[in-house]
Amino acid sequence: MIGKHFPSGKYTLLYDGAGKIGFTFDTAKVISQSPGKMTVDVKIDGEGVFLKILETNPSNPIRNIRFIMPGFENTYQTQPFHPVFLERLKPFKTLRFMDWAATNNSKLVNWSRSRHAQQSNSGKRQRGRARTPDSTGKHAQNRPVVHFASAGKR
């Protein structure tokens, strides 16, 4: 989170795996922690909050990190989007995901080499894009695009 675009408060940090997580700057102070969970006191100061993985266990690496705003600990799994974000989407009929799908400035030509075809990103980006229209009731232009597609997959 960069700048002042987030509220101060006690955030919940959840993660899978084993290791040590820390924060840069004085904006975030760990006030309690147990394996897989931290409570972090965040203060707005314009510097932002930067999380860093200090240590990780190679056989059980830190992964699936969730940094949850105050008040959303009980709803983040079923409603991952902030109500203000959803409100700002109301005027739109269709949501496009070109930037989220990394379409712009892509040099990719052959569909078979795309990460969408190879499923190399374990589907997390796809699931995130799929959940946005589910949460908003909007139509999604969700199909991954190969900008300079070769014949057969345009």
Q: Which of 55-59, 83-87, 118-122, 145-149 has the highest mean pLDDT?
A: 55-59
What mean pLDDT is predicted for residues 111-119? 56
pTM: 0.65
What mean pLDDT is predicted for residues 84-108? 76
For residues 2-38, one letter each, b for 16 or more C-beta atoms within 10 angstroms of the residue's C-beta and e for the rest, the string is: eeeebeeeebbbebebebebebeeebbeeeeeeeeeb
Q: Report the percentage of the chain scoring pLDDT > 90.
A: 36
